[in-house]
Structure 1
């Protein structure tokens, strides 16, 4: 992940899930749901085919995490960074610690996906608390690794990653609270907003550090550059709220349009009943026209 492509992949990974949660939260609030994701019925009532039981969200976590781990060790082709210790050096130093740092981060998100799959596809009853605990653990590990990632970094990188640690820590805190205090709409919104801030800042981080739009690298010795990092982060707080509001607005339009379509009399196709005489059919047609506001 120590490249533009690596940071971009992680940012897109978080953004996909943040938008997914934003849609789920918006629809749950509009429908007045008690649960963000209603508990699944017993396994025998979920369908007999395996693709009917395997959760899409869990599979996405596993696939995307694998897509992040493999390049850390084997990209570009022919490279192998799986070694942890350089045994040829008498000092036995640790090597490729940044790659192992990133792979560990992806590994815990993959673990969260595996827990989702086992809980929803393999067990007789879904274990929602275990799923939430695994997701909270993944973000707690991410917070610890990003805090340790500040070692031997320049002033600019430290400031950028500290600002990334702030929403990451808050997301892990909210997820931990949800293990014991689940299904609180306030926590749904807070978690989604922080996830959007986190993912947008990760994308901003990759641009700032590797391909600045001005073509000139940011300078750690310049107080103005450091000051604008914090300003940009505050803008991302507002951007996350704006994206969440936009998703809620689009979901609201869809929800009201879909609800009105469902509730409109005569909107659904109704087969003509058999066994009636012509006079009874004409009477039924007249009643349907009157209900629909016909003349």
Structure 2
């Protein structure tokens, strides 16, 4: 089954949304890492929410791949034709399955069960590795351009898998988190590129599979996509820093006022307590 623009764009949107979310969340977490314990609890809730969203979208992806009109409807092998049924849909269903497990692990790892730390990153690394493995050994039917596009995609996938695996041992490492975020942004935008090359949304045939100059241009275009991902990271990191500084200035004044009020109240109470014995002695 050939790649469709809508399916590739939807999968790309999934990765791009997570990349955008992380490009704001991780810089804020890095800037607020020295805050009190309440911020740590808030980031734990963010992990649970993130896992729930990941699991929800992965489940929807499985249902869509299986129950679209042309889908296999959970039938893997057809006894009538004695052949496998719609392996492309099963391919993407398998990818979504491991991201569903990753989302569940995100929620369980930050629940009161207190599982060993790092299981959420390990499950994400496994999901990305499975995704890259399936793309590497997919049947491209001698379509050189299609295979080249997905080989470039596999590079971004395996880079994210390796980064997530390192995060199992180096938790909350801002460089690794940033690199993983850039790989997700790259995956998202490149899946959109794959859909527009193989199945243009404006209609007509895809790019010429036999033209080797297309391979050269798309390799260069892949580098441009990564440059765009880095630009998005830089812009969101700068915006996060400005937002964090403005919040500190705004709420810092309130904290100072509250501290001053508490100090004044404490001084009044202490002075009042010191005068009571004197007044009672005078009455005597």
Q: TM-score, normalised by structure 2?
A: 0.80
Aligned pairs (5 A) from 1:67-82: 67-76=60-69, 80-82=72-74
Give the drift of 1:15. Answer: 0.8
Equivalent residue for 1:111?
Answer: 101
CA RMSD of aligned residues (A): 3.2
| Structure 1 gaps, min length 5 | 47-51, 281-295
Give the drift of 1:103. Answer: 0.1
Q: Which moved more, 1:19-28 or 1:8-17?
A: 19-28
Aligned pairs (5 A) from 1:80-95: 80-89=72-81, 92-95=82-85
Aligned pairs (5 A) from 1:22-101: 22-32=23-33, 55-76=48-69, 80-89=72-81, 92-101=82-91
Equivalent residue for 1:136?
Answer: 125
Distance of aligned partners of 1:99 and 1:262 in 2 relative to their CA distance in 1, 3 Å threshold: same
Give the drift of 1:263. Answer: 1.8
Distance of aligned partners of 1:40 and 1:214 in 2 relative to their CA distance in 1, 3 Å threshold: same
Distance of aligned partners of 1:257 and 1:21 in 2 relative to their CA distance in 1, 3 Å threshold: same
User: Where is the helix percentage greater, Structure 1 or Structure 2?
Assistant: 2
Q: Number of residue pairs matched?
A: 260
Task: Provide, for residues 53-98 of structure 1, a one-character-per-residue CA deviation record: whole Å limited to 9, x for no partner.
Answer: 992111101110012111111113x854321112123xx3222111
Q: TM-score, normalised by structure 1?
A: 0.78
Query: 1:139 touches 1:169 (CA, 8 Å); kept in 2?
Result: yes
| Structure 2 gaps, min length 5 | 269-284
Distance of aligned partners of 1:267 and 1:156 in 2 relative to their CA distance in 1, 3 Å threshold: same
Equivalent residue for 2:216?
Answer: 227
Query: 2:163 touches 2:180 (CA, 8 Å); kept in 1?
Result: yes
Q: Which moved more, 1:158-167 or 1:200-209?
A: 200-209
Distance of aligned partners of 1:69 and 1:22 in 2 relative to their CA distance in 1, 3 Å threshold: same
Equivalent residue for 2:146?
Answer: 157
Distance of aligned partners of 1:5 and 1:216 in 2 relative to their CA distance in 1, 3 Å threshold: closer
Give the drift of 1:161. Answer: 0.4
Q: Distance in 1 between matches of 2:47 and 2:30?
A: 26
Distance of aligned partners of 1:114 and 1:122 in 2 relative to their CA distance in 1, 3 Å threshold: farther
Equivalent residue for 2:12?
Answer: 11
